[in-house]
């Protein structure tokens, strides 16, 4: 392979060489998103009322992406399962994914506890819980009680087949897709024709996603302008130590823990981050990892992970593999305990860990879900006053960005791990992508136009 070529997978088969096309720097998506985020911060800071009024731009972009998630997931999973010769593989892949998620998620939870005990970001606040306004967190507490673990599991079953698509619930769509894929695989020749139609429909949906993603700079600009305009950079000062501790812990988790896993897979975590840089910047601007779910499916397939594994692991990971959310939950719990001078014994901290292992499974890639999950954890642990959550309301929007970024990197890496575990990782594609992570990402972007 010469340095002037970019390796691009033409559709699930061997990677093919395509000539690299020179593009103006201002037409590259990640450059546009980065500029939009910067302008959004400036507008929100210097013109807060204008920034707040720009919220519909971010909301509209997120809504456009969400309307495509259900059909993309459905087509991807149905096609992947219907193409399998051995249906036992579906259960095997799902089980392996859940085991991997549980192990890595527990490590993330433990790291949050460890850092909280060492750094003690809440020490010295001496906050009187009775002086806090319980109404500021009442909505989160109510929602947390309604979305318990049992309720979350039962909610995986939709009321009707089409209700899953109407709500856009990832796990409901995934359940419907798995059942449909199994049914199609058992229809013989008719099933093959149906599977071909589903695959064709999936290509149409992905092309629509490619068109919508061109609006990412507009969405990122509006979302960032609103965040800074509504909450202000000044809100970061009071809790700067907690924010810095959380961001630093998440970065170290990605570089050390996920980096070690990536190294075992045969590549650098930094090159992997370079490969998904566009998606990371979109998540940074919108604070939601849902906005890049369809593109992550495409990119992980181009990276060499099998389509059947990607179709199962990515949607599952959005509810069960939330590394950033897990770090935040245990770290924020200890912060609130320290800030309100609530002593926690080692046994109580282990209880926090065990409870968080359950409550974290009800979170999702939606903005603010991590805060609701934290509220669910505190409702089960009465030692820490629930109204203490009011301390974090003002900065949660800034924390959600780091949570979403960490979650996204973890989910992308998980697809590579499970694909290799299944013996379905195309090493040539992976090596080519990691050799030219930025070029391959831009080639995918050009193809989507």
> Hey, what are 267's tokens?
């590549």
Could you tell me which residue, 355 or 101, shows the higher pLDDT? 101
CA distance linking residue 380 with residue 102, whole number of Å:
20
Report, in angstroms and rounded to the nearest whole number, the Rg of the chain calculated over CA atoms.
22
> In sequence order, what are the beta bridge partners of 8?
16
For 267-279, b where at least 16 C-beta lie within 10 A, e where not — what string? bebeebbbbbbbb
What is the pLDDT confidence band of residue 413, given thresholds at 50, 70 and 90? very high
CA distance linking residue 416 with residue 309, whole number of Å:
9
CA distance linking residue 92 with residue 111, whole number of Å:
29
Q: What is the mean pLDDT of residues 224-243?
A: 79
Q: Residue 417 pLDDT > 70, yes or no?
A: yes
Q: What is the DSSP letter of 136?
A: G
What is the pLDDT confidence band of residue 117, given thresholds at 50, 70 and 90? very high
Q: What is the mean pLDDT of residues 180-200?
A: 89
Domain range list for the chain: 25-448
Average pLDDT of the chain, as a whole number: 80
Q: Residue 346 pLDDT > 50, yes or no?
A: yes
Over residues 284-329, the pLDDT tens digits come to 888 778 888 888 988 898 888 888 888 888 888 887 888 988 999 8
Q: Residue 235 pLDDT > 70, yes or no?
A: no
State residue 411's pLDDT score: 92
Segment of 78-87, 98-107, 307-316, 435-444 carrying the highest mean pLDDT: 98-107
End-to-end CA distance of the chain: 26
> What percent of the chain stands above pLDDT 90?
18
> Hey, what are 56's tokens?
């519909």
CATH class in words for 25-448: mainly alpha
CA distance linking residue 354 with residue 113, whole number of Å:
12
Give DSSP secondary structure letters for 350-417. HHHHHHHHHHGGG--SSTTHHHHHHHHHHHH-TTS-GGGGGGTGGGHHHHHHHHHHHHHHHHHHHHHH
Least confident of 4-13, 118-127, 137-146, 283-292: 4-13
Q: Which of 23, 26, 100 is nearest to 309 (CA)?
A: 100
What is the pLDDT confidence band of residue 233, given thresholds at 50, 70 and 90? confident
What phi and psi, each to the nearest 5 degrees, are found at residue 122?
Answer: -95, -5
Q: Residue 196 pLDDT > 50, yes or no?
A: yes
Overall size of the chain counted in residues: 449
State residue 340's pLDDT score: 84
pTM above 0.85, yes or no: no
CA distance linking residue 329 with residue 374, whole number of Å:
6
Q: Residue 379 pLDDT > 80, yes or no?
A: no
State residue 363's pLDDT score: 53
Q: Residue 18 pLDDT > 70, yes or no?
A: no
Could you tell me which residue, 441 or 384, shows the higher pLDDT? 384
Could you tell me which residue, 158 or 388, shows the higher pLDDT? 158
**In 214-306, alpha helices (H):** 216-231, 235-238, 240-252, 259-265, 269-275, 277-286, 293-302
Least confident of 124-138, 244-258, 262-276, 292-306: 124-138
Q: How far from chain centre, in Å, is Cα 211?
A: 21
Q: What is the mean pLDDT of residues 390-401?
A: 78
Q: How far is CA 85 from CA 185, 194, 300, 310, 317, in A?
A: 8, 16, 22, 17, 24
């Amino acid at each position: 392979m010469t340095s002037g070529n970019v390796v691009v997978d033409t559709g699930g088969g061997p990677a093919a060489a395509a000539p690299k096309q020179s593009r103006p720097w201002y037409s590259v998506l990640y450059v546009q998103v980065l500029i939009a985020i910067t302008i959004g911060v400036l507008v929100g800071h210097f013109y807060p009322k204008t920034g707040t009024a720009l919220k519909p731009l971010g909301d509209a972009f997120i809504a456009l992406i969400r309307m495509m998630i259900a059909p993309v997931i459905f087509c991807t999973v149905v096609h992947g399962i219907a193409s399998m010769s051995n249906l036992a593989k579906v259960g095997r892949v799902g089980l392996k994914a859940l085991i991997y998620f549980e192990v890595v998620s527990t490590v993330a939870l433990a790291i949050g506890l460890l850092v909280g005990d060492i750094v003690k970001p809440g020490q010295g606040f001496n906050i009187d819980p009775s002086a806090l306004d319980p109404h500021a967190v009442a909505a989160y507490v109510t929602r947390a009680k309604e979305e318990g673990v049992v309720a979350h599991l039962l909610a995986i079953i939709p009321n009707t087949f089409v209700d899953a698509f109407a709500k856009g619930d990832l796990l409901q769509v995934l359940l419907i897709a798995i059942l449909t894929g199994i049914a199609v695989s058992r229809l013989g020749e008719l099933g093959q024709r149906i599977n071909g139609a589903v695959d064709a429909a999936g290509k149409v949906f992905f092309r629509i996603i490619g068109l919508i993603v061109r609006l990412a700079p507009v969405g990122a600009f509006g979302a960032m302008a609103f965040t800074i305009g509504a909450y202000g950079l000044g809100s970061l000062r009071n809790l700067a130590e907690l924010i810095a501790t959380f961001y630093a812990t998440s970065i170290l988790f990605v570089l050390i823990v996920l980096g070690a896993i990536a190294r075992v897979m045969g590549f650098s975590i930094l090159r992997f981050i370079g490969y998904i840089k566009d998606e990371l910047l979109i998540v940074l601007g919108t604070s939601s990892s849902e906005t890049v779910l369809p593109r992550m499916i495409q990119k992980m397939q181009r990276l060499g992970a099998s389509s059947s594994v990607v179709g199962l692991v990515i949607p599952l990971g959005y509810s069960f593999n939330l590394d950033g959310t897990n770090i935040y939950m245990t770290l924020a719990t200890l912060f609130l305990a320290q800030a309100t001078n609530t002593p926690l014994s080692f046994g109580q901290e282990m209880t926090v860990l065990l409870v968080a292992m359950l409550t974290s499974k009800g979170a999702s890639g939606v903005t603010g879900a991590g805060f609701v999950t934290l509220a669910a954890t505190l409702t089960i642990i009465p030692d820490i006053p629930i109204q203490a959550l009011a301390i974090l309301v003002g900065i949660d929007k800034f924390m959600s960005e780091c949570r979403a970024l960490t979650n996204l990197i973890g989910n992308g890496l998980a697809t590579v791990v499970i694909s290799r575990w299944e013996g379905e990782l195309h090493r040539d594609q992976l090596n080519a992508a990691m050799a030219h992570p930025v070029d391959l990402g831009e080639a995918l972007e050009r193809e989507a136009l």
